[in-house]
Amino acid sequence: MTFRDLGFNEQLIEGLEYMNFVEATPIQAEAIPIIQEGKDLIACAQTGTGKTGAFLLPLINKLSERKGDANGNVDVLIIVPTRELALQIDQQVEAFGYFSGVSSIPIYGGGDNNSYQQQKKALTKGADIIIATPGRLLSHMNLGYVKLENVKHFILDEADRMMDMGFFDDIMTVVSKLPKSRQTLFFSATMPDNIRKLSKRVLNDPLQINIALSKPAEGVTQGAFMCYSKQKVALAVSILAGEGKDLYPSVIIFTSTKRKVSEIHQSLMRKKIKAEMISSDLDQKEREAALIKFKNREIQVLVATDILARGIDIKEISLVINYDVPGDAEDYVHRIGRTARADSTGTAYTFITEDDQDKFFKIEKLIDATIDKLPLPIEIGEGPEYKPGTRRRGGGGYRRGGGGGNRNRNRNNRGGGGNRNNRSRGGGKSNNRSGGSSNRNSNQGGNSNKRPTDNRK
Question: Has this prediction a pTM greater than 0.75?
Answer: no
Residues 285 and 310 in one domain: yes
Instruction: Please check whether residue 450 lies inside any domain of the structure.
Output: no
Same domain for 120 and 261? no
User: What element of type H or E holds 270?
Assistant: helix 258-270
Q: What is residue 373's three-state secondary structure?
A: strand
With a cut of 90, say whether residue 450 has pLDDT above it: no
The domain of 128 spans 4-211
**CATH code assigned at 351:** 3.40.50.300
141 and 57, same structural domain? yes
Convert the pLDDT of each residue in 23-40 to its tens digit: 888 899 999 999 999 999
Structural element, H or E, at residue 303: strand 301-304
* Angle, helices 134-141/168-176, rounded to nearest 10 degrees: 40
Q: Are 245 and 299 in contact (CB under 8 A)?
A: no
Interval 359-382: pLDDT, tens = 999 899 888 889 999 999 999 999
Residues 145 and 266 in one domain: no
Tally Cβ neighbours within 10 Å of residue 171. 20
104 burial level (CB within 10 Å; 0-12, 13-18, 19+): buried
Q: What sign has the CA pseudo-torsion 76, 23, 157, 286?
A: negative
Distance (Å) of CA 32 to CA 19, 91, 152, 206, 428: 19, 20, 16, 14, 56
Specify whether 287 is located in the same domain as 364: yes
Looking at the chain, the whole-number percentage of residues with pLDDT higher than 90 is 42
pLDDT attached to residue 401: 38
Kindly state whether residues 201 and 283 are assigned to the same domain: no
**Domain co-membership, 183 together with 263:** no
Q: Does residue 198 sit in the same domain as residue 235?
A: no
pLDDT, averaged across the chain: 80
- Identify the H or E element spanning 320: strand 319-322
Burial label, 154 (beta-carbon count in 10 A; 0-12, 13-18, 19+): buried
Selection from 128, 123, 134 nearest residue 156 by Cα: 134
